[in-house]
């Protein structure tokens, strides 16, 4: 079979790729701009894991091409190294090293020397996780526990506050996972991230929309008390359904102040089944810790009035196409995808198994809680109500 010729892109074309990628366009959409297959775009973007490489620039202290041309002309005129250095305002040792590393006085050429200097400067700094293998092992262990890079970085900063050798930023962890050339962390650890894709995607690409229908007698989130909005008072929850394959689902509930998570097994998504399951779950908590519930516009909450009558818990609904208004729950559902990937059959999970998953999530440190765990914060609330 005839081998297809390799496709080469100019720097301006690559810059356009990265701009479109940042805007959230797909590989296929970007490929159409160049009348190419998406695989050729994936090759370019995949080299750095979907992370745009930093633009290279020369150091302000390095010799410029104009200075090198002055050196070349001065050598041709037979001038000494000290006189050339005086002319350029440089140290004689700088000029001497420049000439010696580029062929000597008889073979020095400004253009070749400038290009050689640019090529030699392409030496990326060694990743900290490559140099500190014990730190890399510690990070890998936490990733396997489904901790996010941000949680790991925050925990390290607190656990090793006096030892910077055991501290690393979450961005370094992400880059070590996405950029395979670094060789710091194994590729298999990608499966422990909340989203297991092999390349970083733009936020615009993964933004979720909501197409649920209308619910009668729905109380808008705009009528929710201000104390709920600013998380000043505990006991206010956000909820949604997390779907698996074959149209099975579980209800996810998040307390807004502590980010404490509860998972509820739901046999079907019809409103009667969902409401019955939520009523049963709500009776496990004292009234002080369950005052309101904010949901999206899903029809599973069409019978919300019955839920309120049975539990005395107010229900508020997000505006249409505004799932971000219950951001704590949206974020939690993303975290739960590490335990329940899309397409998995979750109907076989018992309530005990769901409780075990919720416990794992509640024992993970959260940045928004100053790296305390939701379990710690929620237990304090429970103790205060006793």
Report for 31-35, 40-44, 250-254: range of highest mean pLDDT: 250-254
pLDDT for 190-215, tens place per residue? 888 877 777 777 766 654 444 434 68
Site of tokens 């992400």: 174
pLDDT for 111-153, tens place per residue? 999 998 888 876 666 788 888 889 999 999 999 998 999 999 9
pLDDT top residue among 216 and 283: 283
Phi, psi values for residue 197, rounded to 5°: -65, 155
Q: How many CB atoms lie within 10 A of CB 75?
A: 20
Q: How many CB atoms lie within 10 A of CB 363?
A: 12
Predicted confidence at residue 112, as pLDDT, reads: 93
Helix H or strand E segment including 241: strand 236-243
Q: Is 311 exposed, middle or buried (0-12, 13-18, 19+ CB in 10 A)?
A: buried
What pLDDT band is residue 45 in, cutting at 50, 70 and 90?
confident
Residue 154 near residue 371 (C-beta atoms within 8 A): yes
Q: What percent of the chain has pLDDT over 90?
A: 50
pLDDT, mean of residues 212-236: 84
- As a whole number of angstroms, the distance between CA 249 and CA 269 comes to 7
Predicted confidence at residue 211, as pLDDT, reads: 40
What pLDDT band is residue 31 in, cutting at 50, 70 and 90?
confident
Residue 134 near residue 347 (C-beta atoms within 8 A): no
Predicted confidence at residue 55, as pLDDT, reads: 78
> Over the chain, what is the mean pLDDT?
87
pLDDT top residue among 289 and 56: 289
Contacts of 10 (CB under 8 A, 6+ apart): none
The radius of gyration of the chain from alpha carbons, rounded to an integer in Å, stands at 29
Q: Picking from 33-42, 84-93, 261-270, which range would have the lowest pLDDT averaged per residue?
A: 33-42
Residue 193 DSSP code: S
Tell me how many degrees the CA angle 78-80-82 measures, rounded to the nearest 5.
Answer: 155
Predicted confidence at residue 209, as pLDDT, reads: 44
Predicted confidence at residue 321, as pLDDT, reads: 81
Q: Rounding to the nearest 10 degrees, give the CA dihedral for residues 35, 38, 44, 47.
A: 180
- As a whole number of angstroms, the distance between CA 313 and CA 291 comes to 5
- As a whole number of angstroms, the distance between CA 120 and CA 71 comes to 20
Beta bridge partners of 372: 366
Q: How many CB atoms lie within 10 A of CB 93?
A: 10
Predicted confidence at residue 63, as pLDDT, reads: 92
Predicted confidence at residue 1, as pLDDT, reads: 45
Residue 247 near residue 268 (C-beta atoms within 8 A): no
Residue 28 near residue 38 (C-beta atoms within 8 A): yes
In Å, what is the CA distance from 240 to each residue of 220, 229, 295, 328? 16, 18, 6, 11
Tell me how many degrees the CA angle 343-344-349 measures, rounded to the nearest 5.
Answer: 150
In Å, what is the CA distance from 192 to each residue of 145, 151, 189, 264? 8, 13, 6, 23
């Amino acid at each position: 079979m005839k081998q297809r010729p390799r496709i080469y892109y100019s720097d301006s074309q690559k810059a356009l790729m990265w701009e479109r990628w940042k805007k959230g366009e797909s590989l296929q959409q970007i490929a159409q701009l160049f009348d190419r297959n998406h695989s050729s775009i994936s090759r370019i973007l995949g080299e750095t894991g979907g992370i745009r490489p930093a633009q290279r620039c020369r150091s302000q202290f390095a010799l410029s091409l104009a200075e090198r041309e002055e050196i070349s002309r001065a050598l041709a005129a037979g001038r000494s190294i000290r006189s050339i250095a005086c002319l350029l305002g440089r140290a004689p040792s700088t000029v001497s090293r420049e000439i010696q590393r580029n062929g000597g006085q008889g073979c020095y050429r400004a253009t070749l020397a400038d290009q050689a200097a640019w090529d030699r400067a392409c030496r990326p700094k060694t990743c900290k996780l490559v140099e500190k293998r014990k730190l890399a092992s510690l990070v890998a262990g936490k990733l396997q526990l489904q901790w996010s890079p941000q949680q790991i970085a925050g925990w390290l900063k607190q656990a090793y506050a006096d030892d910077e050798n055991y501290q690393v930023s979450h961005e370094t962890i992400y880059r070590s996972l996405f950029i395979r050339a670094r060789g710091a962390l194994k590729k298999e650890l990608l499966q422990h991230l909340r989203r297991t894709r092999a390349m970083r995607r733009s936020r615009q690409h993964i933004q979720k929309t909501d197409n649920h229908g209308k619910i009668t007698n729905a109380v808008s989130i705009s009528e929710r008390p201000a104390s709920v909005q600013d998380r000043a008072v505990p006991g206010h929850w956000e909820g949604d359904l997390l779907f698996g394959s074959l149209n099975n689902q579980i209800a996810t509930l998040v307390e807004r102040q502590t980010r404490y998570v509860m998972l509820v097994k739901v046999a079907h998504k019809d409103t009667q089944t969902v409401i019955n399951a939520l009523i049963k779950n709500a009776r496990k908590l004292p009234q002080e810790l369950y005052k309101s519930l904010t949901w999206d516009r899903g029809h599973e909450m069409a019978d919300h009035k019955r839920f309120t009558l049975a539990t005395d818990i107010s229900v508020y609904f997000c505006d249409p196409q505004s799932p971000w208004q219950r951001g704590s729950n949206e974020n939690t559902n993303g975290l739960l995808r590490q335990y329940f990937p899309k397409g998995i059959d979750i109907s076989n999970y018992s309530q005990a198994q769901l409780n075990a998953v919720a416990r794992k999530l509640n024992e993970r440190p959260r940045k928004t809680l100053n790296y305390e765990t939701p379990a710690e914060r929620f237990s304090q609330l429970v103790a205060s109500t006793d």
